Amino acid sequence: MVVTPIRKRIKSFLVRTIVAESEIIVRIIVRGKMSRFQLGTDVDIYVSENTLIYERDGTQQLHRYLAIDLKGGRLKGDYMI
């Protein structure tokens, strides 16, 4: 997870997924504000069928999405809420 240095807002995070029996890593570039979450949290990311995914440094990058749903607790400081 990449966060800003002062306010600790999330800029991007990595998602490991399986497509056609091969594992790929996708970097999600966050738009707007998003609260921090714990490593290993299940994430549902909703995208349209014609969303472009770019490749950079061996990972896929997703810049546009419709919604992100975090399955689990969010972090506040070092505590789960």
Would you list the domain boundaries of the chain?
A: 2-80
10-57 tens-digit pLDDT: 888 988 888 888 888 899 999 888 877 778 888 888 999 999 989 988
Q: Contact at 8 Å (CB) between 14 and 59?
A: yes
- Mean pLDDT, range 5-12, rounded to an integer: 84
Pairing mode, if any, of strands 42-46 and 22-29?
A: unpaired
pLDDT at residue 79 above 50? no
Partners of residue 74 on adjacent β-strands: 37
pLDDT at residue 4 above 90? no
Predicted TM-score of the model (pTM): 0.73
Question: What are the φ/ψ torsions at residue 27 (nearest 5 degrees)?
Answer: -90, 125
- Mean pLDDT, range 51-78, rounded to an integer: 81
